[in-house]
Structure 1
């Protein structure tokens, strides 16, 4: 039996339902990451005994599934664009914004298929964008490719944000601090391609980098969709 098939927890002596449990867990994760979430901590925030949660949520993984589904509601746009490319672009950018609001989501992206109602709705919106444009296997590979890009890009962006907080150094501060080491290594002449990238490449902000990479991935998908 999945967590979605279990009955709601009893409402006495303290009113308790799935919505309150998940909201408390999401708040804990937003404040301190996934390591801040446990059934006992959620129960304590709700002034309830932990045993009252176990009848409905047996493991922390069940709780994570519920949390992911809860915030996936933020990904769905009010209206689905008719153009497949714009539809996938909107979903990708809304996923990015959702991850930046709930950084812990980056740690859970790309895991087990989401079985909750919002997870199903996101998957449906994604597949519907390509409906009728290609055979089902091509459409599925396209969706998996876009998803892999979004997942990897967001994990990298969140990792950088966490590093900034851990070290207290912004990206510019880190570049200045590591500059001497970088200069010495490039001066050896052993890394000419890297030296060219460092000296001549354009340094883009995270949002522009994400959008550019996404467009390249969608270009590749478009090539497959138009192939005879």
Structure 2
């Protein structure tokens, strides 16, 4: 039996329910990352004894599943566009915005399928955007391809944000600090293509880079789905 199937115990002196428990866990994770979340810490946030929580949630893994499902409610817009590319773009951007609000989500993206009601709704909407364009196996591979792109891009962006906080250096400050060493290494001539990228490449911010890569992936998927 999954956590989604189990009935909640009746409330006692300190009112509890899964919604309050999950909201407290999400708040802790937003403040300090997943390492800040434990059943004991959630119980303390709610002024309840830790054993009370086990009537609602059996393990930390169940709690993480519930947390992911809770924030996945933020991904879906009220209505998706009818055009499949626009719909997938909206879902990808919704996932990115949600992960930037809840950075811990990046650590859990791309793992086990999400079977909570919100996760199922996101999965269904994603598949529905492509429904009828190709057979279901092709549609599923297309969805996996797009999801793999934006999951990796989001994780890289979050990792960079964490690095900035850990070092106290912005992207450009870090580049300036690393500049003398990198210049010396490139001057050896052993890295000609990297040298070209460093000196001739265009620097893009995270949002523009995400959008450009997503459009390229959608272009590639389009050739498989529609031949154009």
- TM-score, with normalisation over the residues of structure 1? 0.99
Match of 1:42 in 2: 42
**Quick check: 1:9–1:18 contact (8 Å CA) kept in 2?**
no
Deviation at 1:56, TM superposition (A): 1.9
Give the count of matched residue pairs: 228
RMSD (CA atoms): 0.9
SS at 1:114 equivalent:
coil
Q: Does the 8 Å CA contact 2:75/2:98 hold for their aligned counterparts?
A: yes
Tell me how far 1:7 sits from its aligned partner.
1.4
Shift of 1:226: 1.6
Structure 1 stretches lacking a partner, 5+ long: none
Paired position in structure 2 for 1:149: 149
Deviations 1:22-58 (A, max 9, x none): 0000000000000000000000100011111112211
Secondary structure in structure 2 of the residue aligned to 1:5: coil
Matches within 5 A, 1:178-217: 178-217=178-217
1:220 equivalenced with 2:216 (yes/no): no
Query: Are residue 132 (structure 1) and residue 132 (structure 2) matched?
Result: yes
Inter-partner Cα distance in structure 1 for 2:141 and 2:215: 17
> Using a 3 Å threshold, how does the CA distance of structure 1 residues 180 and 72 change in structure 2: closer, same or farther?
same
Is contact 1:75–1:98 with CA below 8 Å preserved after alignment?
Answer: yes
Distance 1:9 1:52 in 2: 10
TM-score, normalization by structure 2: 0.99
**What pairs up with 1:17-166 in 2 under 5 angstroms?**
17-166=17-166
- After TM superposition, give the deviation of residue 161 of structure 1 in Å: 0.2
* Equivalent pair of 1:22/1:63 in contact (CA under 8 Å): yes
The residue number in structure 2 matching 1:6 is: 6
> 2: CA distance between counterparts of 1:92 and 1:17?
31
Separation in structure 2 between the aligned mates of residue 212 and residue 3 of structure 1, nearest angstrom: 39
